[in-house]
Chains A and B, each alone.
Chain A
């Protein structure tokens, strides 16, 4: 099997499609948007639209909640910290590059 670089599908999902894809309830999704844990765009009609990348974010939220028994506000904090660590690790890798 060979795998190539793949373009991320860019099509957005509306609230129902997002909830269906992630197996969650739309009310929970709305709550997570309100908490700033999920990012969503609101169109002129007020409907929420989610980038495909938010499916993975939702997965992480659910896993962190299941794995550590965190409430959703705490999950928000943990995901922010994990993202900051990822950025720092990338910077560290860059700085450690041989030939620098």
Chain B
């Protein structure tokens, strides 16, 4: 909302992180450091553009000793105050006029709305432009931005809509992102025109969501392949069995062949994450033999009998 109320505008000294007594050199130094950090081409975070704009506004005002003096005297509304007004008279008149209005919100919020018309339509956006406009550079396309999008394995598997809230150039905004089924770690989802704003009618940049698949209690993700643990009792592993394995699609029966040891991977072809333009990944069930922590008398007897009868030595080379 160009020129609209910005009740949350911070103090310019606070923005640059300098005391009110800072020298011009200190102000410039603080600005240079912050600008390098938050320039929208250096910092892809969607909030950086807003921050950079704030820093630039603050510097524009505080770097010029004359506007800085006026800012010190009249506060954020200093552009509305005619040149010849005495600071102390101004403060007194404000104190009485502003009695029924909260300071803070009212002070800045009055900009462009009730005051703007009376003062020849002065508008902060016209004075400062976008970030870069008004400096003789003409229209400039907006910067691309990047944000991380954490998805669960299930979301990556199924795809679908997801609401994402971002700090953008116009404050917080919520985007509905369509997630294609089968996105993988590191993949970028592009939202055309949702990046940094272009100035003077130039096109906006794009917003990229970089997908990160969140750790899952059951699945490990490697590319499009999924890995799950498959716990087996020793006799199941030795004799073979058929067990149910959870997959993102639901339960699947897996045949465990006789003589299966820990570490063996049973592959369920194409039951991993789908591929929008190719074949899906696989799901691997990794066998893990688990023994009862406590044996019943009968179990102990049977194991002892097995130990006596068996000649199997897993350490024999």
Q: Do A and B come from one complex?
A: yes
Cβ A60 vs Cβ B143 within 8 A: yes
Question: Which partner residue on chain B sits nearest A2 by CB separation?
Answer: B176
Contact with A along B146-189 (1 / 0, CB 8 A): 00000000000000010000000000000111101000011001
Distance in Å from the Cβ of A82 to the closest Cβ of chain B?
A: 6
Q: Report the minimum CB–CB distance from B135 to chain A (whole Å).
A: 5
Contact A59 B141 (CB under 8 A): yes
A63 to B220, Cβ gap below 8 A? no
Cα separation A56 to B42 with both chains bound (whole Å): 14
Complex: chain B residue closest to A62, CB-CB: B140
Distance between B217 CB and nearest chain A CB, rounded to angstroms: 12
Please judge, given known A-B contacts A55-B203, A63-B132, A68-B35, whether A1 and B186 are in contact too, CB under 8 Å: no
Interface string of A22-66 (1 = CB under 8 A from B): 111000000000000000000000000000000110111011111
Interface string of B28-40 (1 = CB under 8 A from A): 0000000110011
Residue pair B141, A82 in contact (C-beta under 8 Å):
no
Is the CB–CB distance between B190 and A94 below 8 Å?
A: no
Complex alpha-carbon distance, A5 and B139, angstroms? 26
The count of residues in chain B whose C-beta lies closer than 8 Å to any C-beta of chain A is 46
A23 adjacent to B139 (CB under 8 Å) = yes
CB atoms of B178 and A64 under 8 A apart: no
In whole angstroms, how far apart are the Cα atoms of A64 and B36 in the complex?
A: 10
Partner of A5, one of B35, B180, B186: B180
The closest CB in chain A to the CB of B173 belongs to: A1
With beta carbons under 8 angstroms apart, the residue of A56, A59, A63, A90 that contacts B186 is: A90
Q: Which residues of B contact A3 (CB under 8 A)?
A: 175-178, 191-192, 194
CA distance A94 to B186 in the complex (A): 6
Q: Which of B141, B178, B203, B206 contacts A4 (CB 8 A)?
A: B178
Given A3-B191, A59-B198, A90-B186, the answer on whether A23 and B138 have CB atoms closer than 8 Å is yes
B248 on the interface (CB 8 Å rule)? no
B180 touches A63 (CB 8 A): no
